[in-house]
């Protein structure tokens, strides 16, 4: 009988197709030095140390005014000091964050019990959103914000399933139930930490 199971290599081909289409879409903006006004403003803030004199003072002053908070700038400044500055630094930095967000999106998909063979589906739908492709290389704070939110979501989903496993083991009076219960608490604490990072990047938008 013929084997009707999908081959492992098939989903890799679909991933490559989606990634190729994405890079084709962003190539015109990535290979030029043009950048959005918001991205230019963010680059200027990072390079001129604006807002870094007092981290907590900046948080208190800007958290209720709708202004950006300093964590996103600090992250980019750390990357700049670690890997060096250059003509395309902002575009590469934004693109790396975008790729990490794509991996996290697939990770959330798999944590929910879905097969890795279909992990390209959420990533592909995400890439189809026009604003996603437009901001992938424009050095806007939505990229680190999305990264922190997805990290929080990963921790929440992992904690949820660990708690369910703990409850199931507790019904059978298995001693391992406490181990999974503590793991769920740890995952919840990590989720709270990542949500705090999202808040410190773009204010209450991160909590939303």
pLDDT per residue as tens digits for the range 153-201: 999 999 888 888 888 877 777 777 788 888 889 999 999 999 999 988 8
Mean pLDDT to the nearest integer, 132-145: 85
pLDDT for the residue numbered 90: 86
CB atoms under 10 Å from CB of 122, counted, come to 17
* H-helix segments, 53-176: 55-62, 71-83, 89-111, 120-127, 130-135, 142-171
pLDDT per residue as tens digits for the range 119-135: 888 888 888 888 888 78
pLDDT per residue as tens digits for the range 44-79: 777 776 545 555 555 545 544 445 567 888 888 888
pLDDT per residue as tens digits for the range 147-162: 999 999 999 999 888 8
Tokens of 170: 């507790």
CB atoms under 10 Å from CB of 158, counted, come to 20
Which has the higher per-residue pLDDT, 10 or 176? 176
Identify the three-state secondary structure at position 90: helix
pLDDT above 80 (res 111): yes
pLDDT for the residue numbered 150: 93
């Amino acid at each position: 009988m013929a084997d009707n199971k999908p081959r492992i290599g098939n989903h890799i081909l679909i991933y490559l197709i989606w990634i190729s289409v994405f890079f084709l879409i962003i190539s015109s903006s990535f290979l030029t030095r043009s950048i959005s006004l918001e991205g230019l403003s963010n680059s200027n803030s990072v390079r001129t140390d604006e807002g870094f004199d007092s981290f907590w003072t900046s948080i208190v002053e800007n958290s209720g005014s709708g202004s950006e908070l300093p964590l996103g700038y600090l992250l980019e400044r750390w990357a700049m000091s670690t890997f060096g500055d250059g003509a395309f630094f902002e575009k590469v930095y934004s693109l790396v964050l975008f790729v990490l967000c794509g991996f996290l999106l697939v990770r959330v998909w798999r944590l929910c019990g879905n097969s890795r063979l279909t992990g390209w589906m959420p990533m592909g739908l995400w890439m189809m959103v026009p604003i996603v492709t437009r901001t992938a290389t424009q050095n806007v704070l939505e990229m680190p914000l999305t990264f922190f939110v997805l990290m929080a979501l990963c921790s929440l989903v992992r904690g949820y399933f660990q708690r369910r496993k703990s409850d199931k083991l507790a019904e059978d009076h298995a001693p391992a139930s406490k181990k999974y219960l503590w793991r769920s608490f740890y995952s919840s604490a990590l989720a709270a930490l990542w949500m705090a990072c999202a808040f410190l990047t773009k204010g209450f938008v991160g909590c939303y």
